[in-house]
Amino acid sequence: MSPARTAVRTARRPTRAQVRRRRRTWLVVVALLGAGIAVGISKIDVEQAIRDLTLPLQHDDIIRQQAADKNLDPAMIAAVIYAESRFRDQESHAGALGLMQITPQTAHVIERLSGGTTFVTSDLSNPQINISYGSYYLRYLLDRYHGNEIAALAAYNAGTGNVDRWGGADLRASAIGFPETRAYVDEVLGKQQDYRDQYADDLGLDR
């Protein structure tokens, strides 16, 4: 073998120290990449957990179905559920039940209006039935008050009798007679926009 070739090979062959340095470099790169991936996943998980706590969404398939069936904004249905129950199946002190907090009395009215004949109170613990009844009632209220969302939401919270006295289809937020109902309407309308912004894909909304 010629000295020239030997010199070339010797120049190209890394020393043991170079090999060790390269190995350390690769280990550092791999560690950094692994840490980056872990941090990225953790950040995503934390952001998702925060969103689930501050703006939860469940049963989006039912919400989309009922919104399409009753010509409602799915973000409004989600916002009403948020304001009523935070997506928890529960009973209020007033006896309202389920995700959309429907009283048995209101449920019987909805059943009569919708032509149903088989309702029992325990049905309100079923998400499909509860959201279906709540969405039906929202549609009914919007129609009753000629599309006035403020009046419809105020009636959902405080009853049609109060809303009729406050102005009916012409009701403005400033004319709502109960501070808690005014706060409720403000919360629903605010959360409606939040659900549009943060859950557009889940709710089948166009961006």
Phi, psi of 21 (to 5 degrees): -65, -40
DSSP string, 52-115: HHHS----HHHHHHHHHHHT--HHHHHHHHHHHHTT---B-TT--BTTTTB-HHHHHHHHHHHT
Can you say how many angstroms the Cα of residue 9 is from the centroid of all Cα atoms in its chain?
65
Q: How far apart are CA 74 and CA 139, in angstroms?
A: 12
The answer to whether residue 91 is catalytic is no
Q: Which residues contact 64 (CB under 8 A, 6 or more apart)?
A: 74, 203, 204
Q: How far apart are CA 154 and CA 176, in angstroms?
A: 8
Query: Catalytic residue among 47, 84, 111, 180, which?
Result: 84
State the CB neighbour count (10 A cutoff) for residue 118: 6
Burial of 151 per CB tally in 10 Å (0-12, 13-18, 19+): buried
Q: Which residues are catalytic?
A: 84
